[in-house]
Amino acid sequence: MIETTEGDRDFPPALADVARVEFDYDDGEGVDFEPYDTFDSAEETTDWLRHWTGNHQLDGDAYRVFGQDGTGGLAALWCVRPGRPLVEQPVVFLGSEGERGVVAANLSDFLWVLADGLGPLEVVDFEQYEGRPSATLTALAERHATTPRRTTRDIVTTAQAEFPAFSEDIDALCR
């Protein structure tokens, strides 16, 4: 794992605002996302990563966990861009049943995904990317985003093209 942010655990203002939004699961038709109001601690993240991979040699320094789905799958900033701030790191999802994927290339793009009515689980599990746009999350993205609004399909495709080996890299960590 690469430590890229010198242990930065300051919660970005955009995520603090996301944490105040109530996501409507709507019996499986809505967004299955429960945002946190702080990052998981380094210890919690390391413990989770070791159990998720079965590899007790790992530490969780490369991840800043900021939310979960209803089954316990986690959304995180993946600190893979050396020297760049947390908001410029990609957003990834690691599900409770082994699902995983890159959701967005940065926090700004992730805000647009949320505005489209999709969460990290929906992006990783489905390829339709048909959500129910949210006026609340659109306004939040308009306040915080530094990237232009694009479709979720474009955001996800671009992010996955930038990090094509994410899933294989995770497989290599598993024991």
Mean pLDDT by 10 residues, the chain (175 residues): 56 97 85 96 96 95 96 96 96 95 98 96 88 94 97 96 96 93
Q: What is the pTM of this model?
A: 0.93
| pLDDT in the model for residue 4 | 39
Task: Give me the residues paired with residue 91 across strands.
Answer: 77, 104
- Domain of 94 in residue numbering reads as 13-163
Separation of alpha carbons 165 and 33, rounded Å: 25
Task: Specify if 61 maps to a domain.
Answer: yes
Task: Return the DSSP state at 41.
Answer: P
Question: Given this model, what pLDDT does residue 1 score?
Answer: 36
Looking at residue 26, its pLDDT comes to 83
- Residue 3 amino acid letter: E
Determine, yes or no, domain membership for 141: yes
The answer to the question of residue 5 being in a domain is no
Q: Which residue has the tokens 């010198």?
A: 6
Domain count, the chain: 1
pLDDT of residue 5: 42
Name the phi and psi angles at 35, rounded to 5: -75, 150
**Dihedral angle over CA of 171, 64, 160, 72, nearest 10:** 70
Residue 168 lies in a domain: no
Query: Would 155 be classed as within a structural domain?
Result: yes
Number of helices and strands in the chain (H, E): 7, 5
Helices of type H across the chain: 13-19, 42-53, 107-115, 120-125, 135-144, 152-162, 166-173
Please tell me what DSSP assigns to residue 147.
S
Residue 30: name the closest of 122, 111, 124 by CA: 122
> Does any domain span residue 75?
yes
Alpha-carbon distances, residue 90 vs 51, 59, 63, 175 (angstroms): 22, 18, 10, 25
